A = this chain, B = another copy of it.
Amino acid sequence: MSPDTARPAETKPADLPVYADVLAAHERIRPHIHRTPILTSETFDRMTGAQLFFKCENFQKAGAFKARGASNAVFSLTDEQAARGVATHSSGNHGLSLSYAAGRRGIPCQVIMPRTAPEPKKAAVRGYGGTVVECEPSTSSREAVFAEVVARTGAEFVHPYNDPRVIAGQATCSKEMFEDLGDLDAIIAPIGGGGMVSGTCLSMSALSPRTQVYAAEPTAADDAYQSFRRGEIVAYDAPATIADGLKVPLKERTWHFVRTHVEDVLLADEEEIIAAMRLTWERMKIVMEPSCAVPLAAILRNPRLFAGKRVGVVITGGNVDLDRLPWLTP
């Protein structure tokens, strides 16, 4: 490392999960998750010059990989903890997945959501048995309501990604890829808070250290890209991107994995993301979220990085509003 890029030594965060936690997580959550299929596409292989393997977490329980981490957290609780339930703030896939996992264990789940969140998302949480607690659409209101709920119920907080149980759960996804495909040259996943990318780093460091882990991010919300280059966490307030699962910033545990293990953070522009999304629907016949298209868009933008390689691509989720497809909205 040259003096110009020397970085101060960072303290290792407490409670980092290790590979033994991934093994335990996989045993623990097996009855509650799908072992998702891996699809290939000659078209995409021809377009990229790489051999791509798409791990279809859009087919996962509750429609996204988040069911892995949420199930691991919920089924790690003691009976005493479980009786008080779990709580989180997430209007996206984590809230839904935590509600799903809590429903499987038969315990309460409180999901704090802005009252302005789309009704179908609230209905989906309730459909799995979770309770939606509405707050105002501001960070201060969210934190106040969340604190009140936890004080009242004693519920266990399960953070969407900065939680060792969640990271270990997400790590089972790339563990399955390794079991099914052997040691890939690279794995690429979208990065928001970094739970999936961290889990991938964790599994690959144990199973296949030579496998490069790439993170893919919208240019319009490039906080992980900037963090990676500056050597410290960069967070934005409210970035605007079609990939709405990728707006949140890194936190200390996921930053640790990104900083120490990720090969690079690659960017894709909004039009590239939408084009890759549509192409995947058309050619692979799967319904997936805009976030999932970011890795393919990044591969198409950086063909020389991937040509000739065996590359795993994580399709992270499939919960998309079929009334508002990005290529049909002006």
Contacts and interface: CB of A to CB of B under 8 A. Distances in A.
Interface in A62-80: 63
Interface stretch (A23-31, A262-270, A321-329): A321-329
Contacts of A287: 281-282, 285-287
B281 A63 contact: no
B281 A322 contact: yes
Contacts of A325: 322, 325
B39 A285 contact: no
A42 to B, nearest CB: 8
Contact of A285 (B282, B318, B327): B318
B278 A322 contact: yes
Most B-side CB within 10 Å, residue of A39, A284, A286, A322? A286
Identical chains bound together, number: 2
Interface in A224-254: none
Most B-side CB within 10 Å, residue of A63, A284, A285? A285
Contacts of A59: 39, 284-285
Interface in A281-296: 281-282, 284-288
A30 to B, nearest CB: 16
Contacts of A288: 285
A58 interface: yes
B322 A285 contact: no
Nearest to A61: B42
A37 interface: yes
Nearest to A288: B285
A322 B286 CA distance: 12
A223 B37 CA distance: 37
A59 B59 CA distance: 14
A322 B318 contact: no
Contacts of A327: 322-323
A43 B285 CA distance: 20
Given A37-B37, A328-B328, A322 B63 contact: no
A248 B84 CA distance: 60
A325 B328 CA distance: 10
Contacts of A284: 59
Contacts of A328: 323, 328
Contact of A322 (B39, B58, B282): B282
25 contacts: A37-B37, A37-B39, A39-B59, A58-B285, A59-B284, A59-B285, A63-B285, A278-B322, A281-B287, A281-B322, A282-B287, A282-B322, A285-B286, A285-B287, A285-B288, A285-B318, A286-B286, A286-B287, A287-B287, A322-B325, A322-B327, A323-B327, A323-B328, A325-B325, A328-B328
Interface of A: 37, 39, 58-59, 63, 278, 281-282, 284-288, 318, 322-323, 325, 327-328
Given A281-B322, A285-B286, A285-B318, 5 more contacts: A37-B37, A39-B59, A59-B284, A282-B322, A287-B287
